[in-house]
Chain A
Amino acid sequence: MIDRDRVRTVMRKDWVEVVRSPQSLAALLVVPAVFVVALPTVVLLLARQPGFVESADDVRPLLDVIPAGLLPEGLDEVQQLVYVVVVFLLAPFFLLIPVMVASVTASSSVVGEKERRTIEGLLYTPLTDRELVLAKILGSVLPAVAITWLSFLVYTVLVNVLGWPLLGRLYFPTWTWAVIMLLVVPAIAFLGTSLVVAVSGRATTVQGAQGVAVLVVLPVVGLVVGQAAGVALLDVPVALVAAGAIVVLDVVLFRFAVGRFQRERVLTQL
């Protein structure tokens, strides 16, 4: 049986450590800031300039492959381009944010504890392997999801405010992105973190543990590219199926991470 209070205690301790580390905070906030603020601001300000349509040659082919139902009706070409960039090209980065944030915090909280020689103290307590692994995963997943949701809120406000002069309406988030935020983001954050924690017991450096997150990042990057190419467009049914599939993977990977966690390795590979 899992003692929730012990799990919460380790999670809370990990959060305090992250919040009080300027390096960790910077690593967590820079990527969302670029994706959420910098990129959409540049795009939406450029969209107001004459010649935007001509400068968006690379994006225009996407208009031809997007199924009619996924684009609102009555948009002119500029409006369509803005909509495509905001909804189909930039928004998929919200799937990268939780994986990247969670992998940074998870690798730091497991391998970092090994490097700082603090983890043996935890191992001498009544914490079970399952509790420790769950605490390390949730301690990274929850902040990652919170940062992603906060970023999404900022992005939503920003693209609607900056996009209002162009589209004259609130156009983001779409139902697809609402589903993705609520279901896919937590699931994919859990997936990336579980993977990092599973290898962290054996990794000796933070960078080594973070490297494995590439296994989750790459499919997400593929999804971003797929969106850009118009071959893997997300809609509500696809998002629901993806969320279900990732949750199944989460359960499998969590069990794997617990089974793979060995106090002996953690102690002898400090």
Chain B
Amino acid sequence: MTTASLEGALKRTPFYEKHVALGAKIVPFAGYEMPVQYAQGLMAEHKAVRERCGLFDVSHMGEFIITGDRAVDFVNYVTTNDVGALELGQVHYSTILNDRGTIEDDCLVYRFPDKIMMVVNASNVAKDFAHIARHAGRFGVQITDVSDSIGLLALQGPLAAGILQPLTKTDLSAIKYYHFTEGEVAGMPMIISRTGYTGEDGFELYHDVKYSDKLWDALVGAGDVTPAGLGARDTLRLEMGMALYGNDIDDTVTPLEANLGWLVKLKKGDFVGKPVLDEQKAHGVPKKLIGFTLGDRNIARHGYPVFTANGQASGTVCSGTMSPTLGIPIGTAYLPTAEAKDGATFEIEIRGKRVPATVVKPPFYKDASHL
């Protein structure tokens, strides 16, 4: 978690009062007071999302709107995925690099007819804005940070579509995974995006904060919807092997090292960080992010020391938890490329004791309603 932003006043999302009323445990996260879990607890919330439907407040996320004739070219230049390949109404996952080819942030890119929306991590909003704004002039585009005026709820789980459909005239079955449309939910205008960070089917609803209160009530009142906190969000995304900025990826690694090569389109034309990635593509990467499991009752957590099979230090655990769905410890770490093979073993130091770990290819959980 980000602790750097603990200094100074913490912000609140428009749903803060809802969280408090539900008995949520509130923690500082990325400069916001966020619910880490509600009264039911992480396990129950996690299970609700895997089996039924959960509701997450992710309003802390940052949103930039990019306009101008060359908005697509601009976003293509500051991100690694191919924005030109996006259809109108399509979303993709991408990364923002610096000149060293390492990751400044991961993001979602939404293509509208007249604009692009980038969704970035809360802790990186100011940094990302400054980083990409340097190139705006050359492309003649305008970037607007609308983070504070947009509320965002993620309705996630196999039952999500069935729960949301009665609240909207939009035919949800017509929205494919990683596509979006503008429509109404409970009579309020919003962006209905079939995306999420859980591996389950679901929707993210971007809306003006003035509708937040009513939207929460409408969704919670719509059926079997369990409010879920950041704790469950983290265990759900880790079971899917999805990266968390600050843990699995940061500005010390490139997307090729972080198993995010699928987000890098080297043939699309020039973009920030490309020369380094061209070089790595040609000559290989020195290390790779891997998923691992380890023996029962050895939970490796963020920061625990990692050693290769022959005892060479290899950084620390990026993410680690007990998988609530699988009931086994899971995690991620970087290993030298030669060692980063499926089924290979290495060691993790847990409270002074080195225990064996095994490399496994994520996702750890393979039965999610959307992979």
Question: Is chain B a partner of chain A in the same complex?
Answer: no
Q: Which residues of A contact B (CB under 8 A)?
A: none
Q: Which residues of B contact A (CB under 8 A)?
A: none
